[in-house]
Amino acid sequence: MIGVCAAAYAAIGRLTDFGITFVGVAFWPAAVIPAIFAVLYGPLVGGAGAAIGIFARDMLFHGDPLLSLTAGVTSNFVMFFIIGYASQRSLDSKKLVLSTVLAGVIVAGGLLLPTVLLPDQFVAFTGLSTWEIVAIFAVTAIVSLSVMLIASRRWHEWRSYGVGSVLGQGIGAAIVAVGVWGYSQLFYSATAYFKAPIQASFIPIIFIWTFATEIPFVLLVGPPVIKACYRAFPSLGHGKRAEKRGE
């Protein structure tokens, strides 16, 4: 299943990035694929499948193995391992509140605070005013957390998945942002992927891009697909339910 996940992730990811990238980080609706595998088959399958798949995709896209290993492979393994691990855990009200607060700190810190702290860089990059940028990313954070909370209240079986998705995506996006920036400081030349070092002020922008272009697909597309898989193959859901009951 790791191989199936990796192959699907690499192929669908390359077909759906539409050539839209920011400093090497692609528009990425395919993030939902390893999230689904992580829930159905466990965190190791999701994490390893995502790591192998993103490496294959990167070789088809930019062909720089060291860049992929630095930012893509590491972030994808951590991201989807966390989603799979959290999805296997049953969260009571106390754990849900604590996890939601932690997720909120990650999202608000990554999406909103850099916009306030680095207004000139954000204005230069987007062409929008500071307050327009603040409003856009505040809404992004609020919508992400709201979807997670609504899903956990209305569909109790998805509360762990929602929390894991926000935490995993937040931590993974941070690894991507720092990894891409660090790589560009060491490996740049006229013939390399990066022609010049990336400014440190772009770290939060990369974080925002990565998080905002992945989390909606993971939160909204993942649950109905996973539910359909459980209905088609009841044995997939039995293992998860048995684990929660301690069997």
DSSP string, 121-152: HHHHHH-S-HHHHHHHHHHHHHHHHHHHHHHH
Nearest to 176 by CA among 85, 14, 67, 97: 67
* pLDDT for the residue numbered 74: 95
- Note the pLDDT tens digit of each residue in 142-181: 666 666 666 656 666 777 888 888 889 888 988 998 899 8
User: Cα Rg for the chain, rounded, in angstroms?
Assistant: 18
Residue among 139, 85, 120, 121 at smallest CA distance from 206: 121
* Band (247; pLDDT cuts 50, 70, 90): very low
Instruction: Name the H helices within the chain.
Output: 2-16, 32-41, 43-61, 65-67, 74-87, 93-111, 113-117, 119-126, 130-154, 159-186, 203-212, 215-232, 234-245
Query: Which burial class, exposed, middle or buried, applies to 33 when counting CB atoms under 10 A from its CB (0-12, 13-18, 19+)?
Result: buried
Whole-number percent of the chain with pLDDT over 70: 66
Q: Please write the tens of the pLDDT for every residue from 40-62.
A: 999 999 999 999 999 999 998 88
Q: For residue 41, what are its two tokens?
A: 């088959």
Specify the DSSP class assigned to residue 42: -
Cβ atoms within 10 Å of 3's Cβ, excluding its own: 12
Q: Which of 28-32, 38-42, 122-126, 155-159 has the lowest average pLDDT?
A: 122-126
First-residue to last-residue Cα distance in the chain: 24
> Is the pTM for the entire model greater than 0.85?
no
Which pLDDT score is estimated for 127? 58
pLDDT exceeds 80 at position 99: no
Least confident piece of the model among 187-191, 223-227, 230-234: 187-191
Check pLDDT > 90 for residue 229. Answer: yes
Q: What is the pLDDT of residue 213?
A: 81
CA 138 to chain centre: 18
pLDDT of residue 34: 97
Residues in CB range of 152: below 8 A, 6 or more apart: 91, 96, 158, 159, 162, 163
In tens, the pLDDT along 102-111 reads 666 665 555 5
pLDDT at position 22: 65
Is 189 strand, coil or helix? coil
Q: Token digits for 38?
A: 């992580």
The string of pLDDT tens digits covering residues 177-197 is 889 989 998 888 877 778 888
Q: What is the DSSP letter of 112?
A: T
Work out the mean pLDDT of the chain and round it to a whole number: 79
Please tell me which of 33-42, 127-136, 159-168, 234-243 the model is most confident about, judged by mean pLDDT.
Answer: 33-42
